[in-house]
Amino acid sequence: MGVINVSPDSFSGDGLADVEGALARAERLASEGADMIDIGGESTRPASTPISIDEELRRVIPVVEKLAHKISLPLSVDTYKLEVARQALNAGADIINDIWGLKKEPRLAELAAQENVPIVLMSNQRGSPCRDIMHAVISDLKRAIKRALDAGVPRENIIIDPGIGFGKTQGQNLEVLRRLEELQTLGRPILLGSSRKSFIGWVLDLDPEQRSSEVAFVPPNDQRLEGTAATIAIGVAKGADIVRVHDVKEMARVCKMSDALVRGV
């Protein structure tokens, strides 16, 4: 899953401001081996200022419309707002990616059921820190899955994401990756979003001034590439089915090699 951020304050430093720039990036991601593209209009970094529905629509919908006509890959919309998701699906998006796992907007499940589209449910600990992180993540995902099923979402349309970052300490991020295979008990495909996250800089001591923060800005010439590759390889080995990445060419190669070793694919 290649990432397109149309927010000016993206934590990864790759935010785009115009439709043509997003199209150019999407075409490059497709040529580099992306299987799907995730489009987000609001920064998810800690302490970022939430944007209005109108502003998110202004950023996201023209990009979805353009890519739906120009790119053959499935498009995912990264939003927790019902109206943004609805209009994005009408514009050509194929997947809803909810970073709040139906906590902020349970009606996203009803929309996914009505439109018969996949929905990604992420475990988000912001505002509810915990000590036993895997228990919290699994419990959270079980709740989200039940809510989606109760709303009529077919089980095969549910994808789960442990939510690397998102209210977890740096040590907890490492623990989630280390124990990722435990999510297989939930019986749904696992999406892993570890790309360029701050725990990589924390481990590699690339951001000494940011060691206590959840996410830090990184320059476009990312210094977390090798660390990201390690998380992707180990994530695939531990059961990740989808990896959400910024550096598609490099990570597609990591995935191909990891699949060959782990799954014989």
CB burial of residue 208 (10 Å; 0-12, 13-18, 19+)? exposed
Among residues 244, 249, 253, 256, which one is catalytic?
244
**Are 67 and 24 contacting, i.e. CB atoms less than 8 angstroms apart?**
no
Q: Which residues pair with 76 in a beta bridge?
A: 38, 95
Query: Among 82, 88, 72, which Cα is nearest to 40's?
Result: 88
Is 249 assigned a catalytic role? no
Q: What residues pair up with 120 in beta bridges, in sequence order?
A: 97, 159
Q: Which of 103, 197, 224, 238 is catalytic?
A: 197
Q: Would residue 253 show up in a list of annotated catalytic residues for this protein?
A: no
Distances (CA, A) of 95 to 74, 109, 111: 8, 12, 11
Q: How many beta carbons lie within 10 A of that of residue 244, not counting itself?
A: 23
Active site residues: 197, 244
